[in-house]
Each structure stands twice: as C-alpha cells, then as structure tokens.
Amino acid sequence: MKRIGVFTSGGDAPGMNAAIRAVVRQAHALGLEVIGIRRGYAGMILGEMVPLGVRDVANILQRGGTILLTARSQEFLTEEGRAKAAARLKAAGIGGLVAIGGDGTFRGAMRLTEEQGVPVVGVPGTIDNDLYGTDYTIGFDTAVNTALEAIDRIRDTAASHERVFFIEVMGRDSGFIALDVGLAGGAEVIAVPEEPLDPKAIAEGLLESQRRGKTSSIVVVAEGAYPGGAAGLLAAIKEHVRVEARVTVLGHIQRGGSPTAKDRILASRLGAAAVEALARSTGGVMVGEVEGEVAFTPLKEAVERKKDINRVLLGLSRVLAL
C-alpha cells in the first residue's frame, strides 16, 4: 500500500483535526501518501479528494470541528452508492482508509471492507463515548468540560432564584455525558437512557430535598432519557408537584470548541496507531484505548456490543446529592 485516505463522518467532535494531523504525519513517517476525503461518505461517492502533506495539517491540532468537513450520506446506505465510492477510491489509487467517526461511520466502514474489499481502520471520534472497545472516544472529554462550565453558571442563577433547572445534554442513546457532567456538577438528579425513569419518584425526591433545606436543584437529562428530553421530563414531573423550574438545552454547543489536552493526546495516539494498523493489516478494526493501552476491536463488535455507563458512579452521584 502506497496511498491511504482519511475522512471524518457523522457528528463532528473536538479532536477530529488532531486525529487527521496524526494520520498524515504518521503516514509520512512510514512513507505513505495521504489523500483527504471531504464530506465523509457523501464526498467519497463524488470523488471530493485533496492530497494532504505534513504542512497541510499545521496549526489544526487545537481547532474544533473538522477541516475535512463531515456529512451523513443516504446514498452510501445503498450497495450501489458503496460501489461508486469504492470505484472512486480505486481510481485515486487509495489502498486503505482511516475512518474517523462514530457508530454510523463504522457501520459504513464495515460494509466497505466486507463487501467492497477496501481495508478500513476506524478511529472513534464522537462526543457520545458510546463505542465498545475504547474507554473514551475523541471529543467526549471536551464536550463534558464544555457542558460542565455551562452547568456551573446555571447553578449560580438557580441558587439566586431558588429554582430547579432541567439541563439537557447530548446523548440520544447513551448517558455517558449526562453521568460525567452530572457527577462533576453535583446534580441532584441524573437522567440517562440506560435506566428506567419514574417522574413521580423524581418529583418526590425534589420535594424531599426541599424539606431538607435545599433551595435549588440541578437535574441533568440526557436527550434520549425521556420522550421530549428535559422539557418532556419537566412536564411529567409537574403532574406530581408544583415546582418553579426552567429548562436549558445545551445542544450543539457541546460539539464545538478547542479540544482539551486529554482529547488532543487521545486523538494523536489513535490517529497514529490507525495508520500503523492499516499499513500491516486488512482493516475491519477500530483502534481504541483500553486501560491506558492501545487496543484493537473488530468494527462489528465496536458497533454491536454495548458499552455500559459506570453504574458505580451513578450510585455515588445519588449518595453525594444530599
């Protein structure tokens, strides 16, 4: 293999640029050329490609978003679309790919490897941290710190007005962000999709904490924890208790911004490891970090197996929220 491709796909995550930089520079060290594919699978089908040299990735380590742009492609979900993409890769002389993204990206990558014979190594880049085979995904730490800063600010106003705030964080199917942000921000309640929710019990808990002398509370809600997110949960709770509450949806603010040191280091390490793996293997794996070591997991397992949230930390958050 003389030339590899790199692309970002799905939701952007802080640290994707640091991963692109690591891919390009590690490839250079191994004597491989790198082609950047723009707009994920959509751009791959259209042949949107740019050569990436070591200087092209200067000054991006600290930048959020992705210089390669990202997209979600409907056409790539069809076999015809994937065949078009594979033909573009072949025409460009690309012998293997580094795919930076989340579970949707890796489902596509799996098909590209199995069906079209293109070796792909996945690098976990998503703020959700919901991939099996890595303790952390690139972007998660930054997203947690961004949301935490917002929650600290909201706590000031919650305390001043003696109110309850329902704060919605990202995580359609997973509560990793909600749990870490909730624990670090001292939330009174953390609502995650992994646990059944009882609005009546939450209402009673809020009343009980008022009786104990609390004048304000923070309820952190993962967007997928309850139908309608934080607003839906508040409406359900209001059926049981009258509460002076406000809803704040943090939304895409969690996806932007300069990556933390932790995310930059993870991205640098995994981006480089992905190129090394591609140079010596047939792909079909995701490179992650498990207990401080680089680890490889078949893409199929990374997307199909479920990584659970840390139940011990969830229990601890309840003990400490007295």
Which listed residue (11, 40, 96, 271) binds ligand F6P by CB under 6 A? 11
- x-or-dash string of contact with ligand F6P, 133-152, rule CB under 6 A: --------------------
The rounded distance, in Å, linking the Cα atoms of 28 and 232 is 51
250 lies in the site for ligand F6P, by CB under 6 A: no
Cβ nearer to ligand F6P, comparing 174 with 209 = 174
Where does residue 30 rank: exposed (0-12), middle (13-18), buried (19+ CB within 10 A)?
Answer: middle
- Residue 163 annotated as part of some ligand binding site: yes
255 lies in the site for ligand F6P, by CB under 6 A: yes
Give the sheet arrangement for strand 49-51, strand by strand. 49-51, 33-37, 3-8, 96-101, 120-124, 285-290, 293-298
- Residue 223 annotated as part of some ligand binding site: yes
Stretch that binds ligand F6P, among 55-63, 147-155, 169-177, 257-265 (CB under 6 A): 169-177
126 lies in the site for ligand F6P, by CB under 6 A: yes
Structure tokens at 116: 């079209």
Cβ nearer to ligand F6P, comparing 104 with 205 = 104
Q: Which of 51, 124, 114 is nearest to 86 (CA)?
A: 114
Q: Least separation, in Å, of the C-beta of 102 and ligand F6P?
A: 5
Q: Which of 55, 70, 64, 52 is nearest to 5 (CA)?
A: 52
- Residue 255 annotated as part of some ligand binding site: yes
Which listed residue (108, 133, 171, 182) binds ligand F6P by CB under 6 A? 171
- Residue 280 annotated as part of some ligand binding site: no
Cβ nearer to ligand F6P, comparing 119 with 259 = 259
Is residue 73 helix, strand or coil?
coil
**Catalytic site residue 128?**
yes
From residue 240, alpha-carbon distances to 19, 219, 243, 245 in Å are 48, 16, 9, 14
238 lies in the site for ligand F6P, by CB under 6 A: no
The rounded distance, in Å, linking the Cα atoms of 72 and 94 is 22
Which listed residue (161, 172, 238, 306) binds ligand F6P by CB under 6 A? 172
Q: Are 188 and 219 in contact (CB under 8 A)?
A: yes
Q: Residue 99's beta-bridge partner residues? A: 7, 122
The rounded distance, in Å, linking the Cα atoms of 163 and 228 is 21
Q: Which of 125, 156, 114 is nearest to 17 (CA)?
A: 125
Cβ nearer to ligand F6P, comparing 42 with 127 = 127
Could you say which of 12, 128, 141, 263 is catalytic? Answer: 128
DSSP secondary structure letter of residue 125: B
Q: Residue 245's beta-bridge partner residues? A: 164
- Residue 62 annotated as part of some ligand binding site: no
Which listed residue (82, 96, 128, 183) binds ligand F6P by CB under 6 A? 128
Q: Count interface residues toward ligand F6P (CB under 6 A).
A: 10
User: What distance, in Å, lies between the first and last C-alpha atoms of the chain?
Assistant: 59
40 lies in the site for ligand F6P, by CB under 6 A: no
- x-or-dash string of contact with ligand F6P, 208-237, rule CB under 6 A: ---------------x--------------
Q: Residues at the annotated binding site for Mg(2+)?
A: 103
- Site residues (CB under 6 A) for ligand F6P? 11, 102, 126-128, 170-172, 223, 255
Q: Residues at the annotated binding site for substrate?
A: 126-128, 163, 170-172, 223, 246, 252-255
Residues acting as catalytic residues: 128
